[in-house]
Amino acid sequence: MIEFKNVDVKFENYFALKDVTFKVNKNDFLNIVGPNGAGKTTLIQAIIDKVKVSNGEIIKNFDQIGYMQQKLIINASFPMTVKEFIYTGFIKQKLIISKEDIELMKLWMNRMDLDINMLDIRVNKLSGGELQRVYFIRSLIKNPELIILDEPTSALDPEFRKKFYEILYELNHKGTTIIHVTHDIDNNYLKDNSKILLLDQSIKFLGDFKTYKKEYGHGLHAHS
């Protein structure tokens, strides 16, 4: 689905990514981990063409992509409802939102433990955790073949975190490829067969979680 071949990304005078080579296959669940400033977000931005590759190439083969960026920017003065916001994630968007689409949104609101009445309130009234869930809904609602999540759990409460991973695994089980960038590895929820890519400018480790645990033992926190 995605293939990096000796990719360098250079900003001014330092390398954000150096000689990165890896492959994402269809239906992978790839966790990209690494310390702050390791180039995780840069790697994602290279996939979505936000930064230019200085050397090497990226072969991409996907159509629809659900993307949730690290910084959830909501212009506080943007007068739109949660419904209007989530609707920007749909593939076919009509001038008037159809009943079926609203039903689909309600379904996901329920699954994310959000009150369906929230659909009609303004986005700037949401708390950080609620906003993150709403962003999550937007990224997955069109049922894309690839979902990229950049540090999605930072504002989620631990209670919801469990559910969040459940949903991710369920989507993955149904065939969605998932790229999940995370600051530290959530030992409780990651499955042994999900892939880990430890990044610090270049790739330091690439393999499944089980092997990773063996090699790095208790040092599960990538930055330690």
Residues lying near other proteins in the complex (CB under 8 A) = 48-50, 64-65, 67, 69, 73, 75, 77-81, 83-85, 87-89, 93-95, 120, 122
β-partners of residue 7 are: 20
Residue 115 or 192: the one with the smaller Cβ distance to other proteins is 115
Q: Which is nearer to other proteins, 105 or 196 (CB)?
A: 105
Cβ pair 121, 74 in contact under 8 A: no
Contact by Cβ (8 Å): 33, 199? yes
- Of 58, 35, 46, whose CA–CA distance to 11 is shortest? 46
Q: Which is nearer to other proteins, 42 or 194 (CB)?
A: 42
Q: Which two tokens stand for residue 176?
A: 């969605």
The answer to whether 139 and 103 are in contact (CB under 8 A) is no
Q: How far is the CB of 186 from other proteins (least distance, A)?
A: 25
Closest distance between other proteins and the C-beta of residue 42, in Å? 14
Residue 189 CB, nearest distance to other proteins (Å)? 26
Helices and strands, counts by H and E, the chain: 6, 9
Nearest distance, CB of residue 113 and other proteins, angstroms: 23
Output the smallest distance, CB 149 to other proteins, in A.
13
Alpha helices by DSSP H, the chain: 40-47, 82-87, 99-111, 128-140, 158-173, 209-216
Sheet holding 55-60, edge to edge: 14-24, 2-11, 55-60
H or E element: which one contains 146? Answer: strand 146-150
Residue 96 or 214 with smaller CB distance to other proteins: 96
By beta-carbon proximity to other proteins, the closer residue of 78 and 154 is 78
| Cβ 85 to other proteins shortest distance, Å | 8
Q: Of 31 and 69, which CB lies nearer to other proteins in the complex structure?
A: 69
Sort strands 177-182 and 195-200 into parallel, antiparallel or unpaired.
Answer: unpaired
